[in-house]
Amino acid sequence: MSQPRAVVIGAGIGGLTAAAALHRHGWSVTVLERGAALEPVGAGIALAPNAQRALDVIGAGDDVRAMSAWQAGGGLRLPGGRWLSRTTSDAAAERFGGPVVIAHRAALVDLLRSRLPAGSVRTGVAGEVTDPGGPDRPARVTVTAAGAGAAAGRDGGSSAPAGPTGTEAASPSGAAPPAALDAELVVAADGIHSAARRALFPDAPGPRYAGFTAWRFVAPTPEQPFEPHETWGRGRLWGTVPLHDGRVYAFATAAVPAGGRAADDERAELLRLFGGWHHPVPALLAAVPPGDVLRNDVYAAATALPAYHRGRVALVGDAAHPMTPNLGQGGCQAVEDAVVLALLTARATPGGLAGGTGPEDTVRALAAYTEARLDRTMDVVRRSGRVGRLTTWSSAPACALRSVLFAAAGKLGSRLVLRSLDGIADWSPPRPPYADRPRNPPAVRGRRDAGHEGPGAEPW
Ligand SMILES: Cc1cc2nc3c(=O)[nH]c(=O)nc-3n(C[C@H](O)[C@H](O)[C@H](O)COP(=O)(O)OP(=O)(O)OC[C@H]3O[C@@H](n4cnc5c(N)ncnc54)[C@H](O)[C@@H]3O)c2cc1C
């Protein structure tokens, strides 16, 4: 069998991680991104230790941990500034085997694409699953130019000219994309409004509005010091955390009907909703240019899909299990998906496998992927949704009761506060049997944290 082909639809966090992990296992990978460039939205992203351990698998964990900026305390506050509960980065690290890292999304995307060969990411092209394939035939993805400014380009993390990658999709920059790509594996990582999900499961309900909208931006660090915080008001929430590059990442949510947009601009809307809240909120709003404030309505899976695969197509990340951002886990679960998928399908590649090599192995591996990921990710969807619903409470008595409960929990110690991530942030990638590990894998700097030397803690 020649080098097996994988096509990844979508160059978000999930798609790029999947591509990097599959590449390590010997797949010839082509990533299709409909955006004209890899320009990640969203400003900052929290990467909990579960995601960092998944990123260890592709040799990116240490670089992510180096972005850690939260070294001290922080906690939950009320809009007037009163602390309800406090915790420390050490408590989080002790409980989950490492700190939660707040990374800039652009830095994370750069890191992920640097793990891919030049020419493997093609921007300005949309992929559509036209045949999911099966044991006896490859899957097919139809590729079209994605509108204005979508001249096919390359973005493989290098400015070097594209060399041959062994895939039929490795067309030079500017060449017309082929009409169709056949592949032994298709990874549909096309995000929350995934067309691939609709194609594979047309009867499954799509994501449902979670009842709140979210704003995000990055701003310079205010002169007056502040501690990282999440502040809960009536139907509103604000969070501020430092980034490793000296700036801060701020996020906010408000329980409002879907589809709303400020008549003037979103910073003005934030000023109306949060301008009177404690430091550093007003200082940040004064510092951020109006055009830098992102706004997204929040959607989450209403029900579980019947499976995360069909034929030779696997759904990864938000395409499979969109969730509210309240546990900071949507991207983390996407990278978990990606590395588990790469491990389970590794047996279908000729270079690094012990035993299984037939084309039907990939199809079987995808059933194992659903088995490994569906229950875990839907549990996170539900838990995150529960926290999200708490943030939408707006009645004064209900919010007062909520504050009393949080304050009581805080008095019992930070451990209680961190419990929302128990069973989530402490995840480690499964270890394949020794004989299944990639032969001569690219050098990976593994994590060497004390206390995590047990099974599953090492990179593959
Ligand atoms: C306010 C907010 C805060 C969040 N904070 C966190 C956090 O702190 N930590 C965390 O882990 N998660 C967080 N998340 C969730 C996280 O952003 C997502 O779960 C994550 O980005 C999903 O990655 P993905 O690769 O599945 O999808 P996406 O990042 O949406 O990527 C999908 C990609 O596919 C491309 N695409 C779509 N259709 C096609 C097509 N047909 N052909 C080619 N390309 C296509 C899109 O252009 C896009 O680039 C947050 C979300 C929100 C809304």
What is the DSSP annotation of 201-250? -TTS---EEEEEEEEEEEEEPPSS----EEEE-SSEEEEEEE-TTSEEEE
Same domain (yes/no): 138, 271: no
**Structural domain for 226, as ranges:** 74-98+209-300+392-421
Same domain (yes/no): 149, 294: no
**The sheet that has 236-242: what strands, in order across it?**
83-88, 73-77, 229-232, 236-242, 247-254, 208-220, 294-300
Residue 445 falls inside a structural domain: no
CA distance 23 to 81: 49
Name the nearest CA neighbour of 60 among 47, 71, 70. 47
Q: Is the pLDDT of residue 347 over 70?
A: no
Give the pLDDT of residue 94.
86
Same domain (yes/no): 149, 282: no
Same domain (yes/no): 226, 174: no
* Ligand 1 atom closest to residue 333's alpha carbon, by position in its atom list: 11
How many other C-beta atoms can be found within 10 angstroms of the C-beta atom of residue 209? 14
- What average pLDDT does the segment 60-77 reach? 86
Among all chains, which residue has been given the structure tokens 């409909």? Answer: 34
Among all chains, which residue has been given the structure tokens 């490492």? Answer: 98
Pick the more confident residue, 86 or 449: 86
Same domain (yes/no): 197, 323: yes
Strand partners, 183: 139
Amino acid letter, 95: R
Give the pLDDT of residue 448.
30
Pick the more confident residue, 148 or 459: 148
* Ligand 1 atom closest to residue 298's alpha carbon, by position in its atom list: 53
Of all residues in the chain, the percent with pLDDT exceeding 90 is 70
* Ligand 1 atom closest to residue 45's alpha carbon, by position in its atom list: 8
- What average pLDDT does the segment 97-104 reach? 90
Q: pLDDT tens-digit profile of 220-277?
A: 999 999 999 999 999 999 999 999 888 999 999 999 999 999 999 999 999 999 999 9
Output helix, strand, coil percentages for the chain, rounded to the nearest 5: 35, 20, 45
Ligand 1, from 7, 30, 31, 33: best to mutate by most atoms within 8 Å of Cβ?
Answer: 33
Q: pLDDT tens-digit profile of 163-203?
A: 323 333 334 445 565 589 999 999 999 999 999 999 999 99
Residue 430 falls inside a structural domain: no
Q: Report the mean per-residue pLDDT for the chain.
A: 85
Those residues whose C-beta lies under 8 Å from the C-beta of residue 94, and which sit 6 or more positions away, are none
Kindly report the CA angle at 13 between 7 and 19, in degrees rounded to 5?
30
How far does the centroid of ligand 1 lie from the alpha carbon of residue 196, in Å?
A: 15
How far does the centroid of ligand 1 lie from the alpha carbon of residue 18, in Å?
A: 13
Q: How confident is the model at residue 154 (pLDDT cuts 50, 70, 90)?
A: very low
Cis before 280? omega within 30: yes
- What average pLDDT does the segment 27-42 reach? 88
Q: Which of helix, strand or coil describes residue 297? A: strand
Residue 363 falls inside a structural domain: yes
Query: What CATH number does residue 377 fall under?
Result: 3.50.50.60
CA distance 195 to 35: 15
Those residues whose C-beta lies under 8 Å from the C-beta of residue 46, and which sit 6 or more positions away, are 100, 101, 102, 241, 328, 332
CA distance 143 to 181: 7
Residue 444 falls inside a structural domain: no
Same domain (yes/no): 174, 245: no
Give the pLDDT of residue 427.
95
Give nearest CA residue, ligand 1 atom 2: 325
Among all chains, which residue has been given the structure tokens 């329980």? Answer: 255
Same domain (yes/no): 55, 123: yes
Those residues whose C-beta lies under 8 Å from the C-beta of residue 284, and which sit 6 or more positions away, are 217, 219, 222, 240, 248, 250
Q: Retrieve residue 282's tokens.
A: 């007003």
Q: Which of helix, strand or coil describes residue 295? A: strand
Q: Which of helix, strand or coil describes residue 104? A: strand
Same domain (yes/no): 201, 242: no
Name the nearest CA neighbour of 361 among 307, 369, 431. 369
Give the pLDDT of residue 161.
27
Ligand 1 binding site (Cβ under 6 Å of any ligand atom): 9-15, 32-35, 42, 45-46, 126-127, 189-192, 195, 214, 216, 251, 296, 298, 317-319, 325, 328-332, 334
Residue 437 falls inside a structural domain: no
Max mean pLDDT range (63-77, 166-180, 351-365): 63-77
How far does the centroid of ligand 1 lie from the alpha carbon of residue 15, in Å?
A: 9
Same domain (yes/no): 359, 263: no
Q: Retrieve residue 425's tokens.
A: 């942030």
Query: What CATH number does residue 235 fall under?
Result: 3.30.9.30
4 and 182 in contact (C-beta within 8 Å)? no
Q: Which of helix, strand or coil describes residue 159? A: coil
Residue 455 falls inside a structural domain: no
58 and 385 in contact (C-beta within 8 Å)? no
How far does the centroid of ligand 1 lie from the alpha carbon of residue 430, in Å?
A: 24
First to last CA, the chain: 24
Pick from 8-22, 176-190, 300-314, 319-333: least confident = 176-190
Same domain (yes/no): 241, 384: no
CA distance 407 to 84: 5
Q: pLDDT tens-digit profile of 418-439?
A: 788 899 999 999 876 555 555 5
Same domain (yes/no): 320, 363: yes
How many other C-beta atoms can be found within 10 angstroms of the C-beta atom of residue 73? 16
Give the pLDDT of residue 433.
57
Residue 127 falls inside a structural domain: yes
Q: How many domains would you assign to the chain?
A: 2
Q: Which of helix, strand or coil describes residue 180? A: strand
Same domain (yes/no): 93, 232: yes
How far does the centroid of ligand 1 lie from the alpha carbon of residue 318, in Å?
A: 6
Give nearest CA residue, ligand 1 atom 52: 325
- What average pLDDT does the segment 143-148 reach? 80
382 and 62 in contact (C-beta within 8 Å)? no
CA distance 146 to 100: 36
Residue 175 falls inside a structural domain: yes
Q: How confident is the model at residue 410 (pLDDT cuts 50, 70, 90)?
A: confident
Give nearest CA residue, ligand 1 atom 29: 12
Q: Retrieve residue 377's tokens.
A: 């990710």
72 and 226 in contact (C-beta within 8 Å)? no
CA distance 366 to 276: 51
